[in-house]
Amino acid sequence: MVRTKEYRMKSESIKKFLYILPFMCLLAIFAYYPLYGWVYAFFDYTPPTPLSQSTFVGFKWFRSLVENQVKIDQLLQVIKNTFGMSGLGLLFSWLPMIFAIFLNEIKALRFRKFVQTVTTLPNFISWVLVYSLAFSMLSSEGIINGLLNQLGFTDSPILFLQDSEHVWITMWGWSIWKTLGWSAILYIAAIMSIDESLYEAARVDGATRMQVIWHVILPSLMSTYFVLLMLQIASFLNNGLEQYFVFQNAFNKENIQVLDLYVYNLAMGGGSYSVSVAISMLKSLVSVVLLFSVNGLSKMIRGESVV
């Protein structure tokens, strides 16, 4: 009987492992196998020369990042951009949670589903299409400039897409528009899992809707919020590439270049493949350090680890 039970447990474990095996293979192929490319940071590599025929230079490209004043200035500006845009994301990281609460407060079910669908759909639109929308609306000959001109507010078109001073805010705005509904889904699921007895107790005590939100819903969402916040801090340097790549131009390039875009421009635009890999390596290592630091902070404050 005991052996039969052990056999069933082992077979169940094997079956569950086989379920996740394809996803582990995909993770190994697309997440870990590309790490082999880090070897290019230690060679004087210029395509199409094979790596086997390239000169091994050790940490030359890492040293060049701090020995060349031009590269130091560029990196400082890129880091400033990265910190600025990631900082805005952290500063307003509570928006999806508040949006989910207000969605939950909409009592008309059809209208709630309509709002949730409309705000979630942009997440599935590529950044190329988002830029096409922005161009048709905000270019010098776009809808907004045409409307302002017809109403007599402007004599010459406003160059919205070429604006460099406010590019951090505009990039954050487009990112929020695209991801707000999708990011709220986790909080909506957390709201659905709140014990109904807490609502009933609040109603018995005569709590208003705002008091229910403040004393029941918000405390129940805090654990989800802090986990997502810590994961966001851990990926502080990972802004992504697509959004900034499609919105960059000669006028805003200095203030829109985040680390991911800078690495891409170095490799594809400047041909500095080895330097770009070196910077990418350092970024990944810092991200790992941030992840474990946040994990330790979570253990210390909440008693639970993130990873």
8-state DSSP, 262? H
The answer to whether residues 178 and 142 belong to one domain is yes
**Segments of the chain scoring below 50 in pLDDT:** none
Let me know the angle formed at the C-alpha of 241 by 119 and 290, rounded to the nearest 5 degrees: 95
The answer to whether residues 117 and 176 belong to one domain is yes
Let me know the angle formed at the C-alpha of 37 by 36 and 39, rounded to the nearest 5 degrees: 85
Give residue 15's domain range. 1-58
Q: What is the pLDDT of residue 46?
A: 82
Q: What is the pLDDT of residue 307?
A: 64
The answer to whether residues 34 and 143 belong to one domain is no
- Residue 85: CB partners within 8 Å, gap ≥ 6? 168, 171, 172, 239, 258
Residue 307 forms part of a structural domain: no
The answer to whether residues 10 and 82 belong to one domain is no
- pLDDT, one tens digit per residue, over 251-288 is 998 899 999 899 888 888 777 888 888 888 888 888 88
Residue 200 forms part of a structural domain: yes
Say how many domains are in the chain.
2
- pLDDT, one tens digit per residue, over 9-28 is 778 888 888 889 999 999 89
Q: What is the pLDDT of residue 285?
A: 85
> Beta-carbon neighbour count of residue 197 at 10 Å?
8
Residue 154 forms part of a structural domain: yes
**What is the Cα–Cα distance from 201 to 216, expressed in whole angstroms?**
10
**What is the Cα–Cα distance from 55 to 151, expressed in whole angstroms?**
64
The answer to whether residues 228 and 118 belong to one domain is yes
Q: What is the pLDDT of residue 1?
A: 52
pTM of the model: 0.84
Residue 206 forms part of a structural domain: yes
Residue 68's φ and ψ, nearest 5 degrees, are -100, 120
The answer to whether residues 126 and 26 belong to one domain is no
